[in-house]
Amino acid sequence: MFAIIETGGKQYRVEEGLELNVDLLKADAGDALSIDSVLLVDKDGDTKIGAPYVEGAKVECEVLGHLRGEKVVVFHKLSKKDARKTQGHRQDYTKLKVNSIKA
């Protein structure tokens, strides 16, 4: 059984027991989280597709913690001038564990 959920403007394929990193959510480590924006649920070949979401479907998750991704270096240089700028960015993530999928 798997589902496709939407969180943070991105879509993820999840199964029970899966751990995944999503964009930062306002939740503390150890909290239970319920995601209602389920786009698709597949249970043994029986597929339910939402328009846009599947009614009554939920994905129950547990927040394992927060972390930061790898550093991305952004470098700007103007040719024929002595102008350059270096910037860095690290994305914040929330680590989730999928406990159950209810459809």
Tens place of pLDDT per residue across the chain (103 aa): 999 999 999 999 999 999 999 999 999 999 999 999 999 999 999 999 999 999 999 999 999 999 999 999 999 999 999 999 999 999 999 999 999 999 8
Predicted TM-score (pTM) of this structure: 0.85
> What backbone phi and psi angles, to 5 degrees, belong to 97?
-120, 125
Give 30's DSSP letter. Answer: T
**Per-residue model confidence (pLDDT) at position 103:** 86
pLDDT of residue 28: 96
Is the dihedral angle over the CA atoms 45, 60, 56, 49 positive or is it negative?
Answer: negative
With CA atoms as reference, report the closest residue to 69 among 95, 96, 92: 92
> For residue 84, what are the contacts with CB-CB under 8 A and spacing of at least 6?
75, 76, 77, 78
